[in-house]
Amino acid sequence: MFTYSTKGTCSRQILFDVDEKGILHGVRFIGGCSGNLQGIARLVEGRHIDEVAPLLSGIKCKANTSCPDQLSKAIAEYKATCSAE
């Protein structure tokens, strides 16, 4: 399970798994708007990280970011971390 601490959003963390094919599973947001974030989690479940990240990147809410934008940043950090191992 990868954990990302968000910045500038009501949610505090994003947790998710990525399988060996790059598919997202078990996306969970800690804090934030529960209904909206459950919807985002369901929409990205089973999709490839390289498909999800550009779709969500740049979506703005407050502090010039959003929970979807933070998920795109979490994916980028996940990819950077995994490629460094």
Q: Which of 82, 68, 83, 79 lies closest to 6 in space, CA to CA?
A: 68
Q: Structural domain of residue 22, as residue ranges?
A: 2-84
The CATH number for 73's domain is 3.90.1010
pTM equals 0.95
For each of the chain's 85 residues, which pLDDT tens digit applies? 999 999 999 999 999 999 999 999 999 999 999 999 999 999 999 999 999 999 999 999 988 999 999 999 999 999 999 876 6
Question: What's the pLDDT score for residue 84?
Answer: 64
CA 72 to chain centre: 5
Q: How many residues are present in the chain? A: 85
- Rounded to whole angstroms, the Cα distance separating 20 from 60 reads 31
Question: What's the pLDDT score for residue 23?
Answer: 97
End-to-end Cα separation, the chain, in angstroms? 16
Beta strands in the chain (DSSP E): 2-5, 11-18, 24-31
Looking at the structure of the chain, the number of domains it has is 1
